[in-house]
Each structure stands twice: as structure tokens, then as C-alpha cells.
Amino acid sequence: MTRTEGKLPVAILVPGDFNDHAVGRIDEAFKLVRIERADPGLVTEEMRAAVRGIASYAGINAAMIDALPNLEIIASFGVGYDSVDANHAAKRGVMVTNTPDVLTEEVADTAIGLLINTVRELYAAEKWLRDGDWVKRGNYRLSRLTLRGRRVGIFGMGRIGRAVARRLEAFGLPIAYHNRRKVEGLAYDYHATLKGLAEAVDTLICIAPGGASTEKAINAEILSALGSSGVFVNIGRGSAVDETALAAALESGTIAAAGLDVFADEPNVPRALLDAANASLLPHVGSASVHTRRAMADLCVDNLVAWFTERRPLTPVPETINVRPRG
């Protein structure tokens, strides 16, 4: 069988770098079109006429959507899709899908690992060993913090938030949360404001989505409310944190420590956070296992296949739930 046999007569645009497994599947099922980045200026007349779908990590803004008049679907790789203008897509009749559920457990595992790493200073203890200080200077110091007796607040009680909470229950820790609205059926204490949650706990885990509604929600006021024994962990979106305020809070002792897997301007991490001895930093690896990224890639492509064969999405985002196939 030749490479073109069995392909759907549909052009799928993949801007920039993308998951190799997903690219391979798209190339087998569709006509694959690559461009360097999601830039309307790179869209040719041939692309304008042919492209009906996009598969992307990258932000797809209104201008990019408008540059492709025959666009029907944007398959976004990841559960967060704040870099896609889903509202504009809905107005244009373009479906947007994401990849929920398949990464939930992996990210929740990472959140717990990052929390323990931060509280017990495991990152610094390992460096102590690797640098030879255990031999030259003796035992690593006792960690100032512990999980024992902590009260945990979760900002963003969605799928991942609930998975994190289930894991924390095994530690015997009380859990509270803040969402835009109370989640029916959850026994955890609900706080109507983020500040109220921060005042009630000493450990705050951010799993909130990005976007205007959460922009710098974790600010100096929230960190102050968390308190001097407070620990902040972010596994959600870097944009939800005022990183200048966080660095100042770490330096001044306003909070005790922070564990961060996400940043506002990735991969650029502020020097003040890099220099903070009481911060554990990861390069956005929450879902970064071969197993989980392959599952995400499959769901991303499965959405494209379902849309162009069965005329339905598998995992539409709320903004485009009412978008219907053309023709």
C-alpha cells in the first residue's frame, strides 16, 4: 500500500514542533501540512483553500483562525487550552478539542511529588549528596518543614484537583478548595474566595486553568494570607501567579517554600526564582512521561479522525460544545 492510500482527503496543519507519535498518525490518516509556527503570515493561498483542521501545542489566536476560511476543528494537545481563542473559534463555527482525563493521574502524581520535594527539601538533599557534602560536611540538615499537621487548599477542583485530593486523603491531611463555584457532592470545605482559602490553610496547590480570570490570582495578598509557614505549589498555569510577588515572598519569609512546575514565560524562569533556595523548580514535566504523552497524542488525533469520519468530536471544550459540522 502506498503512503497516500487510505488517507482522508483532508489537510491538517501542524504549526511548529509537535509530538512525533501524533505527527506520524496525522501523516497516515490525512494530508499533513507543516509550518514553522502558528503565524498567519506563513499561511499560503494553497493552505487557505485546503486546510480544514489544526493540531497544535501552540497558541491559535483569532488571526490564525481567520487566516483559514475552511477551518473546521482545532485539536489542542493538552488539557489546558487558554492559548487557543476558543470563543472566537465558536463564533466562526470552528470546533476546539483538548485532551482531558488521559493526563489526570500523571499530573496528580507530579503534584504530590513536587509537594513532598518542596516540603522535605529533597532537591537540596540530593544536591548535598552529589556535591560530596555528605562525605565532607556530614549529614544534610533536618528539614524545617513537614507534611505532618498541614492543612491543604486546592485552587481549581477539576479532574486533576480531585485526583490530587484523593492522594492527599491517604496522607491524612484535611483538604479545602476554591473554585468559581462549589462542586456538588464533594465533602471538602469550600471557600468562596481564594483569599478565604489561603487564610484557612498553610499549603496551597494551584491547579487552576490559565486565562484572564486567573491572571496573577496568586498575588502578594494571597501569599501573605498563606502565612510564614506556608507552602505554595503550582502545577496549573504560570500565568496564575504574580512571579515577582512570589519571589519577594520567598525571599522575605512571607511564605516558607514553593514548588513550581509551570511559569509565566516558559522556558524563561525569573532569576529571582532560580536563586531562591527555598524553591523547588521543574521544567513543566507534569504530564511528561512517554506513556501519558502518547495517550494525549492519540486522543488529539482521535478527535480529528472522529470529526472527519463520524462528524463528531470526542472531547470538545465547553466554548464550542454547540458547534456543528459543516455541510
- pLDDT tens digits, one per residue of 313-323: 999 999 999 99
- Contact present, 35 and 58 (Cβ < 8 Å): no
Shared domain check, 210 and 68: no
Q: 189 pairs with which residues across the strands? A: 176
**Is 153 a domain residue?**
yes
**Does the residue 1 lie in any domain?**
no
The DSSP code sequence of 293-306 is: HHHHHHHHHHHHHH
Side-chain-facing half-sphere of 270: CA atoms under 13 Å: 17
- Catalytic: 266? yes
Residue 253 carries which DSSP code? T
Amino acid 6: pLDDT: 72
Residue 211 lies in a domain: yes
Does 5 reside within a domain?
Answer: no
Identify the band that residue 327 occupies on the pLDDT scale cut at 50, 70 and 90: confident
Q: Which of 151, 162, 284, 294 is catalytic?
A: 284
CATH at 69: 3.40.50.720
**pLDDT, tens only, 53-78:** 999 997 999 999 999 999 999 999 99
Asked if residue 216 and residue 140 are part of one domain, the reply reads yes
Q: How many domains is the chain built from? A: 2
237 counts as catalytic: yes
- Partner residues linked to 205 by β-bridges: 154, 233
- Domain coverage including residue 276: 104-281
Residue 247 maps to a domain: yes
Catalytic member of 237, 243, 293, 319: 237
Q: How confident is the model at residue 2 (pLDDT cuts 50, 70, 90)?
A: very low
pLDDT at site 255 = 98
Q: Confidence class of residue 5 from pLDDT cuts 50, 70 and 90?
A: low
Told to judge if 130 belongs to the known catalytic residues of this protein, a careful annotator would answer no
Q: Are residues 146 and 81 in the same domain?
A: no
Spot the catalytic one: 46, 169, 221, 266: 266
pLDDT in tens, 260-297: 999 999 999 999 999 999 999 999 999 999 999 999 99
Does position 308 have pLDDT exceeding 70, yes or no? yes
Q: Chain-wide mean pLDDT for the chain? A: 96
Give the Cβ contact number of residue 118 at 10 Å.
24
